[in-house]
Chains A and B, each alone.
Chain A
């Protein structure tokens, strides 16, 4: 039993069909718990007012936006090294989810920034690097759509993902150098001192878990769709030959 068994599309389809309802249920429970708890049962922060509740959408989506790119990097590497098709399809499936997470983080940030900083947008390092990350997602998705041959597309987007990762990271630190920021420091870290207080911390943990599960569900569904559409194409090709 090894993880590479799931590289077999058939095995992947079987397991994901079994796992999907469970993940969906878990995602729904944690998200509803976290959001309801966060929105209705936490006090308002002293200098934020009600707007602090945006944190329950903003922080998880921002985290996921970065983590999804990392996941795409890992699956692209698996595809480039071991040529497992499911891996490439998972990367393809994850990209639009990552783009949407980036947009959610940017928009909730704008809604939050307006009352707090008095501006919708500021060329702050974090904001700017997220915008650039969004551009990388756009380019990645566009490259997938532009190329007809699926294997060529998987190879080229994989290479783009590798190079893009380096440059996304580089941009992150370059913009630090370029402009000082308004954005506060990390809300979550291993260092207890830096954390937001426990009242906000626990519902936030639920929301983060919920977003991760939601992402898993979406990627499983989208990857299953990709596998099916690949099978359909194979069937059609066989029909044409027969």
Chain B
């Protein structure tokens, strides 16, 4: 499993695409928003948590179809299915690799992009916390969506239609956590809900994703 993780990480970093691309996409989204809504600091500061979360969602979505697509095409996925580790583990490891290459860089880069949007001071801490807690759920749910569409020729658009509604609860609690944190409100509820969603998806969704992959490999 560790070998598989290292292999996926190495492919993501060296084979071009994936790794830096979603970060660059996140940057572009953040830069485009002020052009759309105007450069007033107050407006930007108010919508910044939402923009950063939506940007993270989209950046995450962009790289989802790469989770299995290449492995499906060259047959590695069949080999993994017959390997002595369960499919659920393969899915989890691939989701972890996806998170390490897209989620984690987003978490680390988000404060810098927050500066661009005039994010108020106390919000930075909660921005990093909420993204760090929430993005693993995005990767795992994305791995499920990618598993559903892995056999399709042009699954990209369908993938976003399937996955984005699943992201709604994460987005709500994530953005709410930043909003409350920066306003100095009670943060325990959204933080715990966000952590609960992440924990539950990480624990349960790999089973659904593995079932979908088995169907697609049949």
Contact = CB atoms under 8 A, between A and B. Distances in A.
Interface of A: 132, 135-136, 138-139, 142-143, 146-147, 152, 155-156, 159-160, 162-164, 167-168, 170-171, 174-175, 177-178
Majority secondary structure of chain B interface residues (helix, strand, loop or mixed)? helix
B54 interface: no
B100 interface: no
Contacts of B208: 159, 162-163
B166 A177 contact: no
Given A143-B149, A159-B208, A177-B176, 11 more contacts: A135-B165, A147-B151, A156-B148, A156-B215, A167-B165, A167-B166, A170-B169, A171-B165, A171-B168, A174-B193, A175-B172
B212 interface: yes
Contact of B161 (A138, A147, A163, A178): A138
Contacts of A177: 172-173, 176, 189-190, 193
Given A142-B161, A159-B212, A164 B166 contact: yes
Contacts of B149: 143, 146
21 contacts: A135-B161, A136-B165, A143-B158, A146-B149, A152-B218, A155-B212, A155-B215, A156-B148, A156-B212, A156-B216, A159-B148, A159-B208, A160-B162, A163-B144, A168-B165, A171-B165, A171-B169, A171-B172, A174-B173, A177-B172, A178-B176
Interface in B170-218: 172-173, 176, 189-190, 193, 197, 205, 208, 211-212, 215-216, 218
A85 to B, nearest CB: 15
